[in-house]
Chains A and B, each alone.
Chain A
Amino acid sequence: EDQVTQSPEALRLQEGESSSLNCSYTVSGLRGLFWYRQDPGKGPEFLFTLYSAGEEKEKERLKATLTKKESFLHITAPKPEDSATYLCAVQARGSRLTFGEGTQLTVNP
């Protein structure tokens, strides 16, 4: 059974204070690992797909990396508008995704 564990559950940062979110996964035959951003009252918004260990993707202040057991979402010099819940998901068979519970990020000005 595919499993995804995200840590920490919640993270508070000061504006400009860089940090990382963790996504550990157990899956048989990873086809892709996904990161999503979810704002309160809205559906998740796609950020990145990573396909193989060693791969990295960047978008503005966010950088996602992948190893054989985990993925990190690095946030460099965050701003209050980066506050959201960040979800990690894995895809092993077909098109089904298994999601973690998410990390709720708050960036204070």
Chain B
Amino acid sequence: NAGVTQTPKFQVLKTGQSMTLQCAQDMNHEYMSWYRQDPGMGLRLIHYSVGAGITDQGEVPNGYNVSRSTTEDFPLRLLSAAPSQTSVYFCASSRTGEAYGYTFGSGTRLTVV
């Protein structure tokens, strides 16, 4: 059972470039989300999805897009990378309907130069 798989693990981008961070889960979880983690700021929610075809914004959505065409996959797109998007990105999934704990991926460390 792979859980939540994130790729790539590391990425360096130049300012203005675009890229997609991949996230896949094999637990048939309805809920998926993207967080960024920065020193002194904790985990902040970027976007989330409660099921295929449904997405919504979190607290820091600007500069990011998401889509959810299948239950398993929830990619995060950076449209035009900026140095302020340098961070560690985590994808997480859970069942819905009750207060279930999230399962997190191992993260993507992104540096924008």
- A: residues with CB less than 8 A from B are 31-32, 34, 36, 41-46, 49, 51, 87, 89, 91, 94-102
Contacts and interface: CB of A to CB of B under 8 A. Distances in A.
Contact of A51 (B40, B92, B99): B99
Nearest to B104: A43
Contacts of B42: 87, 99-102
B104 A87 contact: no
Given A31-B99, A46-B101, A102-B42, A96 B58 contact: yes
A95 B107 contact: no
A99 B43 contact: yes
Interface residues of B, number: 27
Given A32-B99, A43-B90, A100-B42, A95 B31 contact: yes
Given A95-B94, A101-B40, A45 B104 contact: yes
A104 B102 CA distance: 20
A23 B14 CA distance: 38
A95 B100 CA distance: 8
A91 B33 CA distance: 14
Given A43-B92, A99-B43, A99-B44, 7 more contacts: A43-B4, A43-B104, A43-B106, A51-B99, A87-B42, A95-B33, A99-B42
A91 B99 contact: yes
Contacts of A36: 101, 104
B110 interface: no
Given A31-B99, A32-B99, A102-B42, A96 B104 contact: no
